Amino acid sequence: MRTLTSRGGVAWRRRVVFVLVFALLIAVPIVAGALGQPFYIRLFTRIMILGLAAISLDLLLGYGGMVSLGHAAFVGVGAYSVGILAYHADNGGRLFGLFGGSDAAWIVWPVAVAVGGFAAFVVGLVSLRTRGFSFIMITLAFAQMIYYFFVSWQTYGGDDGLQMMSRNRPIADFTNVQFYWLVLVCLLLATLLVDRVIGSRFGMVLRGARQNDRRMRAIGVPVYRYRLAAFTLAGAIAAFSGVLLANSETFVSPATMSWLRSAELIVMVVMGGMGTVHGGIIGAAVYSLLELILGNYTEHWQIIFGPFFILVVLFARRGFLSLVLGESREG
Amino acid sequence: MALFYLEQALNGLQFGVLLFLMAAGLTLVFGIMNLINLAHGSLYMLGAYFAATMLTATGSMLLALLAATLATALCGWLLEVVLFGRLYRRDHLDQVLCTFGVILFLNELVRIIWGPVALPMDLPPVLAGSVRLVGDFTYPTFRLVIIAVGLVVAAMMFVLITRTRLGMRIRAGAADRAMVAALGVDIRSLYSYVFALGAALAGLAGYMAGPILAVQVGMGDSVLVLALVVIVIGGIGSVRGALVAALLVGLVDTFGRVLLPAALADMGIYTVMAAVLFVRPDGLFAARG
């Protein structure tokens, strides 16, 4: 197995990239402050939040070999959990006549993550029975179900989305810079968590099942249950990125979970390099910066990005990181 | 009350045949070339734009029909030769990604050429009115035309696939590609024909949807998902399955909207799909056993 090389040069270079990525992220507010360009703080806050969602998707895509075309739905579930609870905290009333609202982070955030994880568990329960094309389609179908559910839920704004009064307590009065640091800490912790999971026995089973499903079964490993656990964990982390997104924009909208968003997340993971954990951050940064740079030349930036991305997939499948790392851990 | 259900049934049927036109091409392309083409919705969009442009220029629905089908078939053929031909041997993830890139490109191209505002597509007086069906019950002429055209195309597809040499090759290609190629069939050009055929059907769907829905950028993205649902329910590669599933989805969606509360209406067909996949992972009419 390829993991033997993790003791060699690849692991070392990987660690260098990891440190570099976070060193750059630490430098952003300092440089932006010095240059008087607060815009970059907002931009990189968004990049980190997208990166967090991409990392959770990489757990499925790069390590588990599960091509989920509905991952943005779980981001949306996390964001809506925050939005709906904040709505009831501001306006009174109860969700389903049962649950009162709250805008306290230590209540809302764990609830949102749990709801996201539970949604992923249910979706995974059904869709993981299938593989290949059917799996792609059934995750897409579930994501569309969740999408339309929120589009047609008029109480919470429907198509127009839901505006929040403020961020959750106790970070309601955070400046953008303070919020940036908070997101950075969250991202670092989540990255370390995913890295630990990948390196654990659990991660080994997941990767083994990706490489040879039948052999893992023959050994006696309940592959389905491992995949379901990974799917649930990825959904919970995606929901957490949704929590941060809702707090960042104080606005939630069904547009967050359209299937095109799910496809964009896959694009980010692939551009950053599948099966590299922090590749998700790099992919999100490359995507957002390309959007910004190309968008400066023309509002029709996607006409350049589309073909460019096709070329990346056709000829540099392992992502930009592979140029630095030599080869991906998952080969 | 019975008339209300009749009207909804006709609406569902009309929606269903539009979905069939989309799904037929998609299912053939997947069944034979093993390609997930997310950009199929963009071909539908192109068809609608070609039709709207030609209709505005000449005022002729017939010329608009020719523009929608032939120009879209040409675009599909071009895409197949330039890009999709390289994707047949790639895995599903690469196909999803590349065809997603094509969606971004085509959406933006359309926005540059035709602008961001939706195009009008006004029907000529002959088609714009309604027809009296039973008693006082009237139904828009154009929607009846859609149903008729859809059913005729379905019948033609059936004849093409079961009665002609091309159809025989298509079925053989879906069953065992390597063997068909070994028997001397030019598989490359067969692929191009099938792709162009699928594109023409998508263009036809766009042409007929144009006057009912808005002709605008991104109009294909939501229809694509519905067409994918149809081919998954019907069984990938099966045109017969696509017809049955398209009508099922059209009826479930239409009746769901009038009978179910709003929050559940849009979820109806996805629930049906999840249920079908759960019970029969290969769809209702699995073409490849």
Whether B218 shows a pLDDT value over 60: the answer reads yes
Contact, A238 vs A139, CB < 8 A? no
> Could you tell me the pLDDT band of residue A65, with boundaries at 50, 70 and 90?
confident
Domains of chain B: total: 1
Reply yes or no on whether the pLDDT at B21 is more than 90. yes
Q: What is the pLDDT of residue B45?
A: 95
A302 and B108 in contact by Cβ < 8 A?
yes
- Terminal-residue alpha carbon distance, chain B: 43
Give tens-digit pLDDT for B41-86: 999 999 999 999 999 898 888 999 999 999 999 999 999 999 988 8
Average pLDDT over residues B73-102: 90
Does pLDDT of A3 surpass 60?
A: no
Q: How far is CA A182 from the centre of its chain?
A: 17
Mean pLDDT over B110-124 rounds to 87
How far apart CA B85 and CA B29 sit, in angstroms, is 11
pLDDT band at B127 (very low <50, low <70, confident <90, very high): confident
> Which residues of chain B are within 8 Å of residue A133 when distances are taken between CB atoms?
30, 36, 92, 236
**Sequence-separated contacts (24+) of B144-151 with Cβ below 8 Å:** B144/B10, B145/B208, B146/B14, B146/B17, B146/B18, B146/B208, B146/B212, B147/B10, B147/B13, B147/B14, B147/B17, B149/B17, B149/B204, B149/B208, B150/B14, B150/B16, B150/B17, B150/B18, B150/B20, B150/B21, B150/B208, B151/B17
**Total domains, chain A:** 1
Give contacts of A 157-216 with B, CB under 8 A. none
Contact A145 B271 (CB under 8 A): yes
| Cα–Cα distance, A197 to A10 (Å, whole number) | 19
For residue A6, pLDDT over 60 is answered with no
* Res. A329 pLDDT band, cuts 50 70 90: very low
Query: Which residue has 């068809």 as its token pair?
Result: B47
Report the gap between the CA of B116 and the closest CA in chain A (Å): 11
- Of A232, A197, A266, nearest in space to A50 by CA: A266
Cross-chain residue pair A303–B105, CB shorter than 8 Å: yes
Residue B132: its H or E element? strand B130-134
User: Residue B284 and residue B289: Cα distance in Å, rounded?
Assistant: 11
Å between B49 CA and nearest CA of chain A:
18
Contacts of B104 in chain A (CB under 8 A): 302-303, 305-306, 309
**Of the candidates B267, B275, B232, B257, which has an alpha carbon nearest to the alpha carbon of residue B12?**
B257
Residue B171: what residue type? Answer: R
Q: How far is CA B33 from the centre of its chain?
A: 17
In a domain, B5, yes or no: no
Q: Is the peptide bond before A110 cis (omega within 30 degrees of 0)?
A: no
Confidence of residue A319 (pLDDT cuts 50, 70, 90): low
Q: Is residue A16, in this structure, part of any structural domain at all?
A: no
pLDDT score at A1: 42
| C-alpha–C-alpha distance, residues B238 and A194, integer Å | 41
Confirm whether A297 is domain-assigned.
no
- B181 versus A204: the higher-pLDDT residue is A204
**CA B216 remoteness from chain centre:** 17
Of A233 and B289, the one with more pLDDT: A233
Lowest mean pLDDT among A138-142, A199-203, A312-316, B202-206: A312-316
Domain that holds residue A250: 40-266
User: For B133-157, what is the HEC assignment?
Assistant: EECCEEEEHHHHHHHHHHHHHHHHH
Q: What is the pLDDT of residue A4?
A: 45
- Whether A153 is in a domain gets the answer yes
How far apart are the C-alpha atoms of A68 and A141, rounded to whole Å?
11
- The pLDDT, as a whole number, for residue A318 is 64
Maximum Cα interatomic distance, chain B, rounded to a whole number of Å: 61
Look at residue B13 and tell me if it is in a domain.
no
Averaged pLDDT score across all residues of chain B = 87
Measured at the CA of A214, the angle between CA B276 and CA B284, to 5 degrees, comes to: 15
pLDDT tens for A230-267 read: 999 999 999 999 999 999 988 999 988 888 899 899 98
Residue A323 has pLDDT above 70, yes or no: no
Sequence-separated (6 or more) residues with CB below 8 Å from residue B231? B23, B26, B27, B30, B241, B242, B245, B283
State the average pLDDT over residues A141-165. 86
Class of residue B261 by CB neighbours under 10 A (exposed 0-12, middle 13-18, buried 19+): exposed
Find the residue in A nearest to B227 (Cα): A137
Residue written as token pair 């990987």 = A14
A151 touches chain B (CB under 8 A): yes
Confidence of residue A330 (pLDDT cuts 50, 70, 90): very low
The answer to whether residue B282 sits within a structural domain is no
Phi/psi for A161 (5° steps) reads 90, 180
Q: What is the ipTM of this complex?
A: 0.81
B11 part of a folded domain: no
> CB neighbours of A228 closer than 8 A, spacing ≥ 6?
A121, A124, A125, A128
Tell me, what's the pLDDT at A265? 93
- For the cut 60, the answer to whether the pLDDT of residue B274 exceeds it is yes
Q: What is the pLDDT of residues A185-218, one digit of tens each?
A: 999 999 999 999 998 999 999 999 888 888 988 9
**CB-CB under 8 Å, B274 with A141:** yes
Cα–Cα distance for residue pair B94/A331, rounded to 1 Å: 16
Q: Say what the pLDDT of residue B53 is.
A: 93
Average pLDDT of chain A to the nearest whole number: 86
In a domain? residue B189: yes
Q: Are B29 and B263 in contact (CB under 8 A)?
A: no
Q: Which residue of B has its CA nearest to A142?
A: B270
What percent of chain A has pLDDT above 90? Answer: 40
- pLDDT range class, residue A68, cuts 50, 70, 90: very high
Range of the domain at B168: 25-124+138-218
Q: From A301, which residue of chain B is nearest by alpha-carbon distance?
A: B108
The per-residue pLDDT for B18 is 93
Is B109 within the bounds of a domain?
Answer: yes
Tell me what the mean pLDDT of segment A109-114 comes to: 95
